[in-house]
Amino acid sequence: MINFYTSENGTLARCDTFSDGCWVSVVNPTHEEITELIEIYGLDSGFVKSSVDEEESSRIEREDNQTLIIVDTPVSSVDDDETRLFYTQPLGIIITENNVFTISLQETQILQEAINGSIRNLRPNFKTRFVLQILLRIAALFLIYLKQIDKISSAAEQELHDAMKNELLMQLLALEKSLVYFSTSLKANEATIEKIFRGRVIKLYEEDQDLLEDVLIEMKQAIEMANIYTGILSSMMDGFSSIISNNQNIVMWRLTIITVILQIPNIIFAFYGINTVDLPIPYTWFPLTLMAVLTSITALILIKWKNK
């Protein structure tokens, strides 16, 4: 799907036709739309194909009068098991002489916020500033999702203290996997932004320097937070693994005590149940009393041994 947006009174407004200075938003393009982008709008075919490749890593590249910036954007979703998942999705930004094109495989929160006006003062005709504002919001969204990951892991930790549930452990494993994705993507995004910062690929204006520095600071902060949360979550998972192992040992010890205690009545009754003569004290009350006494003594010995 291809949509066009222009700036009107500081806000984005959708328009029906392509014009110089507009923002072209492309979401999940079909084969025909990819051909249209290349043949009608003159985009580099390699740039377009890289933008629709979900395995493409963050990078910046320039070819003739076009510049390609691919950045990883954070995405949050819930699977069929109601487990919150966080992952990254590449966003291709192609800057031409007069326009900015964004190409994404799916609708992301970044694009939605840009369209509904959550990102203020977006002006596609100021191409460099427009791109930097998008990059700044991507870095801010990483921070928001990282805080959500920390909040979910803290809540799961509290619930795991009360009861070990497979659902909670799976949630923690999903969060740990998400942090790995975030850390990898953030480091790649940082390298791309630092390349922009050097000013050799995109023309930077003096008023955009502060904005670019903010983008780089936010990205570095997100990387630091991702590393901290990864370490905390890894330690938490190791701790709960030890707790689960210890609980399993306790259960096995209790079962062993029960098994040993139950063997005593079996031995006594089996001995007095054989068809032989001259058994010691061949009365019904004796094996019952002997069984009760030996069982009690054995149980006390095992319980005291366990508590040492």
Lowest-confidence pick of 37-46, 184-193, 227-236: 227-236
Q: What is the pLDDT of residues 138-175, one digit of tens each?
A: 888 888 888 888 888 877 777 766 555 666 777 777 88
Residue 308 has pLDDT above 60, yes or no: no
| Ordered DSSP codes for 113-158 | HHHHT-STT--TTSHHHHHHHHHHHHHHHHHHHHHHHHHHHHHHHH
Q: What is the pLDDT of residue 187?
A: 87
- Per-residue confidence band for 277, with pLDDT thresholds at 50, 70 and 90: low
Who has greater pLDDT, 31 or 258?
Answer: 31
Q: What is the pLDDT of residue 276?
A: 60
Lowest-confidence pick of 10-19, 55-64, 155-164, 209-218: 155-164
Whole-angstrom distance, CA of residue 72 vs CA of residue 89: 5
Residue 59 has pLDDT above 80, yes or no: yes
CA distances for 66 relative to 21, 47, 79, 206, 280, angstroms: 15, 9, 38, 21, 103
Q: What is the pLDDT of residue 283?
A: 67
Owner of token pair 């004290």:
281
DSSP state at residue 57: P
**Segment 258-282 mean pLDDT:** 71
- Per-residue confidence band for 275, with pLDDT thresholds at 50, 70 and 90: low
Provide the Cα torsion 191, 44, 91, 222; round to 10°.
Answer: 10
For 40, phi and psi rounded to 5 degrees? -90, -45
**Segment 233-244 mean pLDDT:** 75
Token couple for 90: 């590449």
Check: CB of residue 93 under 8 Å from CB of residue 23.
Answer: no
Residue 30 has pLDDT above 80, yes or no: yes
Nearest to 190 by CA among 154, 167, 221, 225: 221
DSSP state at residue 278: -
Q: What is the pLDDT of residue 49?
A: 87
**Segment 170-186 mean pLDDT:** 83
Lowest-confidence pick of 46-50, 120-124, 275-279, 299-303: 275-279
Residue 223 has pLDDT above 80, yes or no: yes
Q: What is the pLDDT of residue 216?
A: 84
Q: What is the pLDDT of residue 253?
A: 77
DSSP state at residue 39: H
Helices (H) and strands (E) in the chain, counts: 7, 7
**Top-level class of domain 2-246:** alpha beta
Who has greater pLDDT, 286 or 47?
Answer: 47
Who has greater pLDDT, 6 or 302?
Answer: 6
Partners of 97 in beta bridges? none
Whole-angstrom distance, CA of residue 229 vs CA of residue 294: 55
Who has greater pLDDT, 182 or 167?
Answer: 182
Q: What is the pLDDT of residue 164?
A: 59
Q: What is the pLDDT of residue 237?
A: 75
Helix axes 127-162, 166-197, angle to 10 degrees: 160
Exposed, middle or buried: residue 274 (CB in 10 Å: 0-12, 13-18, 19+)? exposed
Who has greater pLDDT, 92 or 200?
Answer: 92
**Segment 210-219 mean pLDDT:** 82
Check: CB of residue 18 under 8 Å from CB of residue 58.
Answer: no
Residues in the chain, total:
308
Three-state DSSP at 88 gives strand
Q: What is the pLDDT of residue 278?
A: 65
Residue 285 has pLDDT above 60, yes or no: yes
Whole-angstrom distance, CA of residue 34 vs CA of residue 43: 9
Alpha-helical (H) ranges within 65-126 are 109-116
